[in-house]
Amino acid sequence: MASFQVEVRVSPRADLLDPQGKAVEQALKRLGFAGASSVRVGKLITLTLEAPSREEAHRLVEEMCAKLLANPVTEDYSFEVAPLPAPAAREG
């Protein structure tokens, strides 16, 4: 078993209105950031995961996203899986 650091990014689907992103965009423009556009507000979910391999970790995170972390009707997701040093090395 190895440990992995997982970051899941969930954002409103690109083809849907994101009122929060719109409000933030307007606020940025009011602050003078005239070049800011296409603002979307989503969420970042981080976790550590025990899995036999990186491939298996990928598969598990994909399943987590499909079953719970994102709602396909309203949200898109992407994720990164990075190996963590073995516990002994970390305590080292």
Q: By the criterion CB under 8 A, which residues form the site for other proteins?
A: 12, 16-17, 19-20, 23, 68-69, 71, 73-74
Smaller CB separation from other proteins, 47 or 86: 47
Question: In angstroms, what is the minimal distance from the CB of 29 to other proteins?
Answer: 17
Cβ–Cβ under 8 Å, residues 13 and 76: yes
Question: In angstroms, what is the minimal distance from the CB of 66 to other proteins?
Answer: 12
Distances (CA, A) of 72 to 54, 63, 86, 87: 24, 12, 34, 35
Give the C-alpha separation, 92 to 36, whole Å: 45
Burial status of residue 34 (CB atoms within 10 A of its CB: 0-12, 13-18, 19 or more):
exposed
Question: In angstroms, what is the minimal distance from the CB of 67 to other proteins?
Answer: 9
Smaller CB separation from other proteins, 2 or 49: 49
Smaller CB separation from other proteins, 72 or 83: 72
